[in-house]
Amino acid sequence: DEERVARQQRDRLRHERKREREREMRLDNMKGNLKKKKGVDRDADRDISEKIALGLHTGATKLAGDAMFDARLFNQSSGMDSGFGQDDEYNVYNKGLFNRGEASSIYRPKRDDAEMYGDADEQYKKLAGTDRFRPDKGFMGTDATSSGGGGRDAPVQFERGAPAAEEELDPFGLDQFLTDAKKGKKKG
C-alpha cells in the first residue's frame, strides 16, 4: 500500500516537472520569437543612411563575379587613359548604388505627416513670429533700441579707425627692414 502511494507521488512529481519544462520551453520560444521580431522591426525602421553604414542596404541585387568591378577597367590597351572618359567628367561608376524603383522607396512621406506636423509655411511663420531666436542681450552698440527701435535696413557699414601711433602701422618693423635692404645697409 505504501509502495503504491509512493509510486503515485513519483508519477505526479514527474508529470508536474514535465509540464513545468514544457511551459518554460514555450516561454523561451515566445521570447526568442519576440526578439527576432523586434530585430526585424528595428532594421525596417532604420534610416537609409544607417542601413548603408551598417551594410544592411546593398542596393538592388547582390553583385557577384565580374559585376563587382567596373567593366570599363578590363581589356584596355593602355590603361586608364583609353576610353575611361574625360578628366572633367564625373561618371566614375558604371551604374548607381540603387536602381530607380528602390531609390524612390528610400523615403516616402506618410500620409498623416501634414496633419501631424502641419504645413511648412505655417510652421515657418509661427517660428518667425516668436522671440525664441532673438538674443536676450545684444552686443554693445547693437541693441535694437539704439538703432531706432528696429532692425537694419542696410548692411553694417564699417569704418577704418586711424591708428593711435606710428608703431601700429608697422608693428613688425617691415617698412624699416625693406628700406634698409634697399639701401644695402648692413648691421655691424
Residue 41 lies in a domain: yes
User: Are 122 and 72 in a shared domain?
Assistant: yes
Give me the pLDDT at residue 11, please: 97
Cβ-contact 96, 103 below 8 angstroms: yes
Task: Identify residue 63 by its one-letter amino acid code.
Answer: L
Residue 179 lies in a domain: no
Residue 70 lies in a domain: yes
Range of the domain at 89: 65-128
Give me the pLDDT at residue 44, please: 75
- Per the structure block, which three cell numbers stand in for 50? 544607417
pLDDT in tens, 115-140: 777 777 888 888 887 877 777 777 77
User: Are 41 and 69 in a shared domain?
Assistant: no
Give me the pLDDT at residue 103, please: 62
Give me the pLDDT at residue 4, please: 94
Residue 82 lies in a domain: yes
Q: How far is CA 154 from the centre of its chain?
A: 37
> What is the number of structural domains in the chain?
2
User: What's the predicted TM-score (pTM) here?
Assistant: 0.21
Give me the pLDDT at residue 21, please: 95
Last residue of a domain, one of 109, 128, 147: 128
Comparing CA positions, the residue from 40, 39, 57 lying closest to residue 107 is 57
pLDDT means over runs of 10, the chain (188 residues): 94 96 90 72 76 70 64 60 62 65 65 72 82 75 55 76 65 88 73
Residue 36 lies in a domain: yes
User: Are 122 and 77 in a shared domain?
Assistant: yes
